[in-house]
Amino acid sequence: MKPSAIAWHRAESLDAAAAILQDDVSAMPLAGGQSLVVMLGLRVTAAERLVGIAHLPELVGASEEAGLLRIGAGVTHAAIEDGRIPDATDGLLAHVASGIAYRAVRNLGTIGGSLALSDPAADWPVALLALEATVVTNTRRIPISTFLQGAYATPLEPGELIRAVEIPRFAPGTRWGAAKIARKVGAFADSLCVAVHRPGVAPRIALGATARGAVLLPAGTAEAIAAADPDADAFRRRCHLASVTRTLKRMEA
Ligand SMILES: Cc1cc2nc3c(=O)[nH]c(=O)nc-3n(C[C@H](O)[C@H](O)[C@H](O)COP(=O)(O)OP(=O)(O)OC[C@H]3O[C@@H](n4cnc5c(N)ncnc54)[C@H](O)[C@@H]3O)c2cc1C
pLDDT at 2: 67
Q: Candidates 8, 35, 180, 191: which one to mutate for ligand 1, based on the most atoms within 8 Å of Cβ?
A: 35
What distance in Å separates the CA atoms of residue 202 and residue 132, rounded to the nearest whole number?
A: 12
Is residue 35 lining ligand 1, measured as CB closer than 6 Å?
A: yes
Amino acid present at 164:
A
Residue nearest to atom 6 of ligand 1 (CA): 101
Other beta carbons less than 10 A from residue 107's beta carbon:
15
How far, in Å, from the CA of 29 to the mean position of ligand 1? 11
Residue nearest to atom 14 of ligand 1 (CA): 101
Is residue 117 lining ligand 1, measured as CB closer than 6 Å?
A: yes
For the chain, residues classed under CATH 3.30.43.10 are 7-52
Residue nearest to atom 27 of ligand 1 (CA): 113
DSSP 31-68: SS-TTHHHHHHTTSS--SEEEE-TT-TTTS-EEEETTE
For the chain, residues classed under CATH 3.30.465.10 are 57-168
Is residue 75 lining ligand 1, measured as CB closer than 6 Å?
A: no
The partner residues of 137 in beta bridges, in order of sequence, read: 162
Walking along the chain (253 residues) 10 residues at a time, the average pLDDT comes out as: 83 97 95 94 91 95 95 98 96 98 97 98 98 98 98 97 98 98 92 98 98 98 97 97 98 92
Architecture in CATH of 57-168 = 2-Layer Sandwich (3.30)
CATH dotted code for 7-52: 3.30.43.10
Vertex 50: Cα angle to 47 and 55 (nearest 5): 155
How far, in Å, from the CA of 109 to the mean position of ligand 1? 6
How far, in Å, from the CA of 188 to the mean position of ligand 1? 12
Contact 47/26 with Cβ under 8 angstroms?
Answer: yes
How far, in Å, from the CA of 66 to the mean position of ligand 1? 29
For the chain, residues classed under CATH 3.30.390 are 175-252
pLDDT at 1: 64
Is the pTM above the cut of 0.85?
A: yes
User: Which atom of ligand 1 lies nearest, measured to the CA of 37?
Assistant: 29
pLDDT at 185: 87
CATH dotted code for 175-252: 3.30.390
Phi, psi of 167 (to 5 degrees): -125, 130
| Secondary structure letter of residue 76 according to DSSP | B
What distance in Å separates the CA atoms of residue 156 and residue 147, rounded to the nearest whole number?
A: 8
pLDDT at 57: 95
